[in-house]
A and B are shown apart, each in its own frame.
Chain A
Amino acid sequence: MSIRERYRMRLKRKRTLIRAFRKRRELKCLVNRTETIKKSDIIVCVCLRNERIRLPFFLRYYREMGAHHFLIIDNDSTDGSAEYLNEQPDVSLWHSKASYKHSRFGLDWQNHLLRKYATGHWVLTVDPDEFFIYPFCDTRPINALTDWLDTYKIRAFPAMLLDMYPKGPIEAEPYREGQNPFEIACWFDSGNYTFSKNHSLRNLWIQGGPRARTFFADTPEKAPSLNKLPLVRWERGYCYMSSTHMLLPRRLNNAYDERGGEKPAGCLLHAKFLSVLTDKVEEELSRGQHYAGSREYMAYARTLGDQGELWCNWSERYINWRQLEILGLMSKGNWA
């Protein structure tokens, strides 16, 4: 890597950080309980809008996993999300009326909060419909994983986004508040993912899954990226570049082995395709605040509108992390 290129990356990172710092003005703190965060606590950072129905299960899931504190940015919800979160003892809440799009889909806000409150902590940056799965997650709490990563000086842990979907039309079974979404959406694609390397930022670019095969069959290069690095031991100067797909400094993106070995990796179960999506699609299309002209949402509206389903004969039913390990979607690496 030439010095020039290195310097260019540094500038890029600084620009992102400055941008995040400027955007802090758009955040209004509703409740700040960050002084309760202890030194070894694990933090979850979320940016959301109108996700009230998903929140109870979301919070429960991560609390049970061993997360201690939630940093949440509410992008002007109108469904009572803010009021609900305000009452939670382990939530610090910010509110923003500003444009989701102009804050780079919430990332600038998150980068700012991460720098300010998560430095020195392990932090999970996820969406309210993403559920983190890691090797041994059924028997070991998440700080077993982070302690282990610490001994190996691994700073970022990869978890590929795995789209989960129900059998039949997504509206067939309505999602109830507090319900485990994977009781309904328990199917996934096990082996149609493609990988390529992004040389400038060194991350892997993963595409495929049900969205690629149904919505983007003609334009596979536009299919959504599935590579994510949600769990990071945050340091001052780190920043997310595009969603949680990649980080700067770019050495953090090197979460894969290039000599044939397997590094440990988890999965993010993506509970997007639930009955609540339909309303969301309409709302998001009218707002036009999503990535690449909301093209994903347009595709959903087109395909899911006429009672299409994502399920097919070869869909795999989710059982546990060991199943995902055997299928080659995640790996224990040398953690035993």
Chain B
Amino acid sequence: MSIGFIMMCHTALDRAEQVARYWANQGAPVVVHVDRRVKKHAFDSFRDALGDLPDVSFCQRHACEWGTWSLVAAAQAGAEQMLKRHPDIRHVYLASGLCLPLRPLDELRAYLNARPWTDFIESVTTSEVGWTQGGLDMERFTLRFPFSWQRHKWLFDRYVRLQRQLKVKRAIPAGIVPHMGSQWWCLTSATLRAILQDPARADHDRYFKSVWIPDESYFQTLVRLYATSIESRSLTLAKFDFQGKPHIFYDDHLQLLRRSDCFMARKIWPKADRLYAHFLQPRKAAKKPAEPNPAKIDRLFTQAAERRIRGRPGLYMQSRFPLKDLENGKTSAPYSIFQGFTDVFEDFDIWLRKYVSARVHGHLFAPERAEFSGRERMFNGCLTDDAALRDYNRKAFLTNLIWNSRGERQCYMLSPRDQVQSLDMDWFTATDPNAQISIITGAWSIPLFQANKRFNIVRKEAAILQRRELQQLEVLRSTYIKARVRVWNLQEFVENPMEPLQTIIDELSPRTSRRLTEAPRMVDLNGFGQFLQNLKNQGMQPQRMGDFPVAGDLKPYSTRRRRPYLVK
């Protein structure tokens, strides 16, 4: 007889019965502690159900409340009874009624027999644990906690705060170095006996009675005084989530649990029939002892916590609707915005498509309709090109578009003509690190110059567009900008378009380090200087176009890039 179990039960007694029976049938003594708050008839039928097993005994009952001394008192009662009734066992395993043994008992026995003097208990100094909830770690040991956290949360919090303000501190008894860890342990009976029969036990107990959550620290601390060899880990696989609640295992975790090679898992959903049926069936011990390896389960639960705390960047959904600037990713993937390029070049989007592997849309926010790539009427995720639907919530339109086409970079054209008075969108894209914004300022005037309209209409339109662009540039000059913004004025861009285009292309597809051989075809700007002068003559001051000579032409640029001179 090398191992005995103490079981702490308060709910799902039928499952506890199954597990106790499983152990007892394989010759391991079991001491059961049942919460005193369990109703009498439930307890009686539970005891009667286990009555046929001589190795199962019930210890003195305590009313257990989470976070209080009662849980330690229960464990002590169980341990004392175990040591008295079964003095020949070598290890005592503390388990709960919702624990489930994952491996045959013989494998656990073999494992422990190979390590006869080792105590398996997670025991970490308080300064090093990262998992405590609610900011109480060292304070668990130095403050007093007379109020129940569950029933009188308000008083609990107030009293903690008061003690902090008054700077009251309790002295920690000599020789005790606070340690914490999982409350599920497996100790050698020698260590356990030493803890329980220590002449100073009364002092220890008195001290720990007013420590917060002593079941995570009593044995974990005292074991350091007596143990010869401590393995600071629990043999029970028990995972806690970000709120300190234990993760629960269900039927669909069966394979995961099987492959984890852990000895025991907690907490099992009491109605997980398949898990209980599978793991409690009689099995032969494996020949080759395996070391517990909970890495896969760890990863699963870490991902779950990550999902709950950080969510998926750029996703807006029914259970994720972040406040402004708390988005953790305003959009889900990088995208590029080109403003003014379609005015300066003919068929710019067709040209761009040749050089980058991205989806190139037209003016997504055009007043008539969203110009999807290839002028499709619909796009991924059943987004329609309908202007009314799009303008109902432009931000959602953009975030949906980018979310729906994850894995493919999106580019779209913009113009002051597109969305008059939408500073919101400007701020949204400008503060989004995923956005790459390239602007040729003043390019909006080229279509006006080409259009054959009456000049007073042109003048008015020019004024509106200019104001709109200036507002936008104002936004882009703010210090809160997270997007990658590039701004050129029309004149400097027209004089040397290759340089800026090359930078943009390099950034869009960094791996194709191809030099641009051919620039897109620029529109005819003959007489554009005169057009600007006419605007001035009408009393409007064109800004941010740069200097265009009134007469004559800008110096023409060659569409062929000259080879760079190589000096050998």
Contact = CB atoms under 8 A, between A and B. Distances in A.
Nearest to A138: B252
Given A152-B243, A194-B393, A220-B388, A336 B400 contact: no
B392 interface: yes
Interface stretch (A173-181, A233-241, A310-318): A310-318
Nearest to B309: A261
B242 A139 contact: no
Nearest to B316: A195
Contact of A259 (B242, B243, B312, B326): B326
Interface string B75-117: 0000000000000000000000000000000000000000000
A220 B271 contact: no
B307 A332 contact: yes
Contact of B323 (A148, A194, A258): A258
A334 B319 contact: no
A195 B321 contact: yes
A48 interface: no
Contact of A192 (B241, B303, B329, B383): B383
B251 A334 contact: no
Given A195-B316, A206-B318, A221-B392, A262 B307 contact: yes
B381 A314 contact: yes
B250 A140 contact: yes
A335 B252 CA distance: 13
Interface residues of A, number: 58
Contacts of B225: none
18 contacts: A136-B250, A141-B271, A158-B318, A160-B318, A191-B404, A204-B318, A217-B386, A217-B389, A218-B388, A258-B322, A260-B320, A260-B322, A260-B328, A262-B319, A262-B320, A313-B378, A334-B242, A334-B305
A220 B389 contact: yes
A88 B386 CA distance: 48
B389 A136 contact: no
Contact of A257 (B301, B311, B392): B311
B379 interface: yes
A335 B318 contact: no
Given A191-B380, A192-B400, A262-B308, A336 B303 contact: yes
Contact of A263 (B247, B300, B320, B389): B320
Interface of A: 136, 139-141, 143-144, 147-148, 151-152, 158-160, 189-197, 204, 206, 210, 212-213, 217-221, 227, 255-265, 312-316, 328-336
Given A144-B250, A191-B400, A204-B318, 19 more contacts: A143-B271, A193-B317, A195-B317, A195-B318, A204-B321, A213-B389, A221-B392, A257-B321, A258-B323, A260-B327, A261-B309, A261-B311, A262-B320, A313-B378, A329-B317, A331-B307, A332-B307, A334-B307, A335-B304
Interface in B512-558: none
B108 to A, nearest CB: 26
A331 B252 CA distance: 18
Interface in B404-427: 404
A316 B382 CA distance: 9
Contacts of B403: 191, 328
B250 A265 contact: no
A104 to B, nearest CB: 24
Contacts of A197: 321
A136 B252 contact: yes
A148 B378 contact: no
B194 interface: no
Nearest to A315: B382
Contact of B250 (A139, A189, A258): A139
Nearest to A259: B326
A257 to B, nearest CB: 6
A206 B396 CA distance: 11
Contacts of A191: 380-383, 400, 403-404
Interface string B214-251: 00000000000000000000000000011101011011
Interface string B267-297: 0010100000000000000000000000000
A100 to B, nearest CB: 27
A160 B316 CA distance: 13
A257 B310 CA distance: 10
Contacts of A258: 321-323, 326
A313 B382 CA distance: 8
Given A213-B382, A260-B326, A261-B320, A336 B301 contact: yes
A189 B397 CA distance: 14
Contacts of A217: 384, 386, 388-389
B315 interface: yes
A336 B269 CA distance: 12
B404 A256 contact: no
Q: Most chain-B CB neighbours within 10 Å: which of A136, A260, A315?
A: A260
B107 to A, nearest CB: 26
Nearest to A220: B392
Contact of A148 (B248, B315, B404): B248
A195 B251 CA distance: 35
Given A143-B271, A190-B404, A213 B317 contact: no
Interface in B344-402: 378-384, 386, 388-389, 392-393, 396-397, 400
Nearest to B308: A334
A151 B11 CA distance: 14
A332 B315 CA distance: 14
Contacts of B303: 336
Contacts of A212: 389
B243 A332 contact: no
* Residue of B252, B311, B328, B382 with most partner-chain A CB within 10 A: B382
Contacts of A336: 247, 300-301, 303-304
A191 B305 CA distance: 25
A218 B320 CA distance: 28
A190 B312 contact: no
Nearest to B329: A260
B308 A261 contact: yes
B312 A328 contact: yes
A140 B248 CA distance: 12
Contacts of A141: 271
A255 B241 CA distance: 19
Given A190-B404, A194-B392, A314 B382 contact: yes
A255 B318 contact: yes
A139 B254 CA distance: 11
Contacts of B388: 217-220
Contacts of A255: 318-319
Contacts of B323: 258-259
Q: 6 closest pairs, A vs B, by CB?
A: A191-B381, A334-B308, A260-B328, A336-B304, A265-B319, A220-B392
Contacts of B317: 160, 193, 195, 262, 265, 328-331
